[in-house]
Amino acid sequence: MLLKIIALLSAAIPLVLFLRKMFGARPTKFGAAMREAKKQIDLAITIFICIVGAIVVFALAKLAWGWWTAM
């Protein structure tokens, strides 16, 4: 359940930042908006990769712990 909440928050943070940047500031040129969108997409991908990495590390630790305690 905790991992689902973390995943939901990690998906929502870039969206909130992107919307705040797009609608909270003065209107900008389309090129600047696209650059900001690319930054937010990069941030979302980075957060997603970090979460997947954390899940993999947790699973490997759980496997190692089970293997270690079985000895």
Residue ranges per structural domain of the chain: 2-70
pLDDT tens sequence across 50-69:
999 999 999 999 999 988 88
The confidence band for 46, taking pLDDT boundaries of 50, 70 and 90, is very high
Identify the pLDDT of residue 12: 83
Written as one letter, the residue type at 71 is M
Identify the pLDDT of residue 61: 94
pLDDT tens sequence across 9-44:
787 888 888 887 777 756 557 777 788 888 999 999
Tell me the pTM: 0.53
